[in-house]
């Protein structure tokens, strides 16, 4: 069935949903996808008419520039459903701004705001049954754009494809994670693309992360590329440190992703009168705090992970175990506050919740 929405999005509905074949109680993150996807091509100097079509494989030429020069950026968002069957997004304006910031850094044309929000809302309403109510349940939403022009000369493409696909999700990390502090490898460098959500940033992390995993650690907390003395962010999360009752996190720079969950935690800390310092955090400061007992918590913050406690870290051959707090944990407090807002179970004083209409 084909129809046009009021905003010129062509919708082709799936003839049969595959939702009944999905075990929602045993989801593996990012492996199952909903019935439909959003697609919009850029050619002849402009974005074409957006479409929503059944989720499917697509044909792309082997000479597409994305394969050769890595012009690809993406976002990570979540949709939630409350007990009234209403659908909400969390601060989607930030994701929209960030994907265009990322795109600009990789010489990709910015995507129109109306196409983004109209397409997103239409897609979520079409696949609303995939969004399950209840805290902990969500629909992970992945907007991304790739260079599709078939040409292998080293220059920006003239053709692109913007897409949105969705995947039902539960918790990303079910248990506290163990991390390595980077000593040799770097995630990004000054003047690079670390602040952008570029696909290549993640590809470059896979090898050092695989080495860490062989040692029993799930993630790396990256350090500055110049000296490896200052802690910045983990592979899938921004990082917070609790020293006594003070919260500390690294400032944004051109190496660090401007995390939506990160900035939300900073605001919640202010709301709760929790002292939060945004400043450089040295490896030696955290090791010293771990030794003298003042390091109470380390936790990551990100869309997929929400809030993920760290149970241990290693640096220079030294392993530091972090005793998990049974009460008065900042990680637990922030996670509860965020989930309550996201699932429409509490007040939303900063208007972060975006209702899909």
- The predicted pLDDT at position 130 comes to 98
Is residue 355 a part of any domain in this protein? no
**Same-domain status, 128 and 209:** no
**Same-domain status, 212 and 181:** yes
* Domain CATH code at residue 205: 3.20.10.10
- The predicted pLDDT at position 7 comes to 58
**Same-domain status, 277 and 137:** no
Q: Please, which pLDDT band fits residue 150 given cuts at 50, 70 and 90? A: very high
**Same-domain status, 318 and 282:** yes
How far are the Cα atoms of 81, 127, 217, 342 from residue 354, in angstroms, in the given order?
11, 17, 36, 9
Q: Please, which pLDDT band fits residue 174 given cuts at 50, 70 and 90? A: confident
Is residue 349 a part of any domain in this protein? no
**Same-domain status, 163 and 28:** yes
- The predicted pLDDT at position 158 comes to 98
Sequence-ordered list of residues with C-beta below 8 angstroms from that of 162, at least 6 positions apart, any chain: 38, 39, 40, 41, 42, 47, 111, 115, 143, 144, 145
C-alpha–C-alpha distance, residues 135 and 138, integer Å: 8
Higher pLDDT, 121 or 5: 121
Q: Is the pLDDT of residue 2 over 70?
A: no
Q: How many helices, marked H, and strands, marked E, lie in the chain?
A: 7, 21
Question: Taking the complete model, does pTM exceed 0.85, yes or no?
Answer: yes
Is residue 353 a part of any domain in this protein? no
pLDDT digits (tens, 9 = 90+) for 238-286: 999 999 999 999 999 999 999 999 999 999 999 999 999 999 999 999 9
Is residue 63 a part of any domain in this protein? yes
pLDDT digits (tens, 9 = 90+) for 287-308: 999 999 999 999 999 998 899 9
- Domain boundary pick from 169, 188, 203: 169
The tally of domains found in the chain comes to 2
Contact criterion met (CB below 8 Å) for 202 and 237: no
Is residue 122 a part of any domain in this protein? yes
Residue 66's domain comprises: 2-169
């Amino acid at each position: 069935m084909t129809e046009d929405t009021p905003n010129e999005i062509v919708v082709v509905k799936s003839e049969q949903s595959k939702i009944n074949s999905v075990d929602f109680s045993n989801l593996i993150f990012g492996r199952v996808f909903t019935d439909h996807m959003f697609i919009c091509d850029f050619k002849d100097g402009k974005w074409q008419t957006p479409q929503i079509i059944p989720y499917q494989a697509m044909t792309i030429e082997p000479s597409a520039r994305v394969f050769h020069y890595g012009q690809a950026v993406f976002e990570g968002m979540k949709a939630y459903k409350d007990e009234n069957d209403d659908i909400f997004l969390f601060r989607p304006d930030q994701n929209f701004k960030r994907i265009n910031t990322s795109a600009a850094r990789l010489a990709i044309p910015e995507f129109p705001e109306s196409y983004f929000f109209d397409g997103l809302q239409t897609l979520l309403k079409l696949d609303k049954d995939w969004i399950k109510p209840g805290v902990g349940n969500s629909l992970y939403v992945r907007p991304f754009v790739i260079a599709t022009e078939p040409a292998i000369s080293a220059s920006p493409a003239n053709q692109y494809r913007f897409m949105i696909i969705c995947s039902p999700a539960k918790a990303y990390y079910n248990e506290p994670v163990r991390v390595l502090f980077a000593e040799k490898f770097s995630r990004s460098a000054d003047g690079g693309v670390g602040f952008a959500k570029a696909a290549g940033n993640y590809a470059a992390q896979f090898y050092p992360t695989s080495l860490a995993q062989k040692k029993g650690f799930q993630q790396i907390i990256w350090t500055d590329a110049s000296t490896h003395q200052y802690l910045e962010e983990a592979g899938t999360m921004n990082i917070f440190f609790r020293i006594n009752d003070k919260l500390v996190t690294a400032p944004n720079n051109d190496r660090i992703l401007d995390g939506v969950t990160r900035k939300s935690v900073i605001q919640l800390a202010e709301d709760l009168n929790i002292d939060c310092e945004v400043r450089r955090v040295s490896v030696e400061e955290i090791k010293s705090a771990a030794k003298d007992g003042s390091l109470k918590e380390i936790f990551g913050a990100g869309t997929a992970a929400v809030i993920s406690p760290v149970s241990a870290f290693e640096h220079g051959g030294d392993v530091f175990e972090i005793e998990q707090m049974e009460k008065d944990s900042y990680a637990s407090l922030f996670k509860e506050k965020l989930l309550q807002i996201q699932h429409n179970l509490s007040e939303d004083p900063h208007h972060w919740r975006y209702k899909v209409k």
